A and B are shown apart, each in its own frame.
Chain A
Amino acid sequence: MTRKITSPVVNAETKAFWDAARQNSFLIPVCTACGKAHWYPRAICPFCADDKIAWREASGRGTIYTYSVMRRVREPYAIAHVTLAEGPTMLTNIVDCDFDKLYIGQPVAVVFQETENGPPAPMFRPA
């Protein structure tokens, strides 16, 4: 992929996530009070409002909830929402794929992609 990928902005709530990403580790936030995983990561649980959030290593497995291939640009790319095995659905890109063979429900696995000048971003490829 040669499309320039905008670097994620690392802030206090997501630093641990991006530090792990640099080590090729995909963490998801899980609330230890209600037991639910959420996305995007934040310090306050969106479900029960507790602040006891723990980072857990995710399986990196998911399925495509929906996607679209942006055709009207110099370098087409696939955007998607992927539902993780752990529950939450996240906005991402599908890479290393045949754009014409993507489908909803397709199993995918995480792959970290370099960004312009920040930590790598989690994207997915067909599993």
Chain B
Amino acid sequence: MVRPPRGICGMTIKGKAYIAGVFEHPTRLAPDKTVAQLHAEVALGALADAGLTRAEVDGYFCSGDAPGPGPASMAEYMNLKLRHVDSTEVGGASYTLLAAHAAEAIALGKCDVALVTLAGRPRSEGMATGTAPRARPADQPEAPCEAPYAITTANGYAMCAMRHMHEYGTTSEQLAWVKVAASHHAQYNPHAMLPEVVTVEDVVNSPMIADPLHRLDCCVISDGGGALVIVRPEIAKKLKRPLVKIIGTGEAVKHLTGGSFDLTTSGAARAGPIAFAEAGVTPADIKYASIYDSFTITVIIQLEDLGFCAKGAGGKFVADGNLIAGVGKLPFNTDGGGLCNNHPANRGSMTKVIEAVRQLRGEAHPAVQVKNCDLALAQGTGFQLATRHAGATLIMERE
């Protein structure tokens, strides 16, 4: 269902906020840095990229990876003077969502220069990101009836893949094409953790982690981070960077609905149409897509939900290199994505926005730069696809 632009009286953020600065931390292993330090380093990097200073930041947006309570500790660490903050926690989807919230705040005049940061060190800390159950507070209402069963990131997403295969005939080889495409892009990224090109056979012959997901269906575990600087149009136009504006956003939370649910669609099925309606564009208009790739199945489900192909046709859509820049119809994750490049703090949507901005600026690696890339999408999915999760869509245009 396509909805009309959100809000009363057709209010919209379309074109009211610009992404003026982005920065991706080059580190993939940071045992000698603190998480707070990494947040500050990416913040300063993004501000330098924009040509702005710390003193000009009046809005700060962070999520659960920021150390300390909400935005307070990092605001103090970086000595920011703020008039607007937001620390919405939606896991890996937090940064496409916070970019949207920053655009909303700017459109309403609540801040002029919004800083969004992400950083973490799960690799240094030896976190068993995918294969160990995560501790959750006992007062989480579902905890009593889920804690005994040892749901993990890997076996949860695997259950979604298993059901998708059952309903639509999706194959392990089709899932593998997502990784193959990411690896083709990663070979050009000097920072990528896994820069080697892999084949479908490499993926399906890698060790099984949780049926039907193999090791190479899973994203990497890395330290690092990233940041965005989002500003009012008047400020963006005074800076010396290419103009990248936010034109559509959408967000949704999908859950188990009292025990009546499907696991073959994601929050993107609701977030995507809202964002496309606001932007006034269709999936066919998108030149480049950053799609959160915690696992290969995550990409296939989101591509379907966003309308790049019909529901159930995602496996066929991604096969035969259709996601490879210069080869296929929809170049995706040209930095190598979470599957090959990095996955800082186990949260993937920040780097999704950053690579989309590089594409729109024409600053991606020449081997993967999409020609005339004037319209891009970044899609985040956060938390557990097999139980409750968030989806957040961000559509951006080069002016």
Contact = CB atoms under 8 A, between A and B. Distances in A.
Interface of A: 3, 5-11, 13-14, 18, 36-42, 45-47, 65-73, 77, 79-81, 87-93, 104, 113, 115, 121, 123
Interface string B234-245: 000000000000
Contacts of A67: 159, 162, 211
A68 B144 contact: no
Given A73-B131, A93-B150, A14 B145 contact: yes
B166 A8 contact: no
Interface residues of B, number: 43
Interface string B122-156: 00000000010100001101111111111110111
Contact of B148 (A68, A70, A89, A115): A115
B260 interface: yes
24 contacts: A8-B148, A14-B144, A14-B145, A40-B142, A45-B258, A47-B258, A67-B159, A67-B211, A68-B210, A69-B155, A69-B211, A71-B207, A72-B207, A72-B215, A77-B150, A79-B150, A79-B155, A80-B159, A87-B259, A89-B261, A91-B149, A93-B149, A93-B150, A104-B163
Contacts of A46: 257-258
Can you list the 6 inter-chain pairs with the closest CB atoms, starting with the nearest? A88-B259, A46-B258, A39-B259, A68-B158, A121-B148, A40-B145
A68 B159 contact: yes
A88 B145 contact: no
Contact of A42 (B141, B156, B159): B141
Interface of B: 131, 133, 138-139, 141-152, 154-156, 158-163, 166, 207-213, 215, 256-261, 263, 386-387
Contacts of B150: 3, 5-6, 70, 77, 79, 93
B369 to A, nearest CB: 37
